[in-house]
Structure 1
Amino acid sequence: MALFITYVLLGFSIALPVGTITVEMTKQGLKNGFMHGWIVGLGGMTIDLLLIIGLYFGLASVLSLPVVQVIMWLIGAIFLCYVGYDSIKNADHDIALEGEKKTKTLFSSYKNGLLVAVSPGNLVFWVSVFGTVLASSFDRSNTSQFLIVGLGILLGILIHDLGLMTLVATTRKAMNRTAIKWVTISAGMVLIGFSVYFLYEFVLSIQKIL
């Protein structure tokens, strides 16, 4: 139990810094409420779960290849630019204030979470940080410890997401349509900023290979 709680706290701690998933969760939470923001987080956690499974089967060695990292930086830049542009373009769309009917589907929010999570920053983070943690707990003869560590980390992230969305949902009640629109535009600009950074890393990776 102590081991599980330790990794729950680890998962919670590493989810605290503001990243692309947090930005997208906050944006969707303000525009459409608690469930839409949380569903974005679940989309991100789906990728996290797949990465845990991948690391279990040796994915780290593949993701560490220079050619693969170059591709990941480019794909991440494209995805984040797309999501950021869409945020700005549709900043005044799909805003459902308290009590209004929502036009955006939960699946659409989940898809946004998936797109944002499939980024080099997220993948490299999992390989470098969690890859080391999970590898140290991995034992072919005793897979239960590996599962405890992985589930503990995911539960910590889930607790963070629920807490963040509770705060956003509460704040949202005091905001009007114009305020939410400008927060959405700001979130889109932040995501585009991340995409520019990923593109910069893509160029650096190309130079290293050449």
Structure 2
Amino acid sequence: MTRAHLPGILAMAIIVVASNILVQFLFGQWLTWGAFTYPLAFLVTDLMNRVYGAGPARKVVVIGFVVGLICSLIGTQIMGEFGPLVTLRIALGSSLAFLTAQLVDVSVFAALRKGAWWRAPLASTLVGSTLDTALFFSIAFSAQLMWLEPGNDVSWANEALPILGMGPVAPLWVSLATADWMVKLSLALLALIPFRMIVAYLDPAKRTA
């Protein structure tokens, strides 16, 4: 890790902290504001991977993971209206989802890096985002995993409702996961613009890489 990696490290840390704060504030019926900041972590990982390689990208992911753990620890000590702001299941889901999804993102990007410039960032982010959403919401809220934290009542998240208010009936957390996933996919496409511009700025030789 060199001084050149510092912007990526700081960007990842800021995104993780901001997302942990903004996830407490609702945006509409299915989302929180954190849904719009968290996907930027994939952009940071992909930029590090393109410019510096998979090794530095993985190190930035680990730093983001540690920052996330610290945020979760702090959240468990802050009491809200219904208990701690961060439960054990949320902390576990968030940590495992972040680390797994980001490391998979790095691997997919590395495997596709020699193709068209947009293929690696788009494919790696789509795969990582899908994995992240599936892991987090199932670990944090599914009734099948209540044994992880028996004292945590997640019955509210398992209320049977039409998905996003109009689809097949499923537990509420499935609607939350679907909305979150759709935001991630949309931002994955939009992130190609800053990805292209930042890569060209940091390393003009890789404009066509």
TM-score range, shorter chain: 0.3 to 0.5
**Whose relative contact order is higher, 1 or 2, with alpha carbons under 8 Å and at least 6 apart?**
1
Of Structure 1 and Structure 2, the greater strand share is in: 2
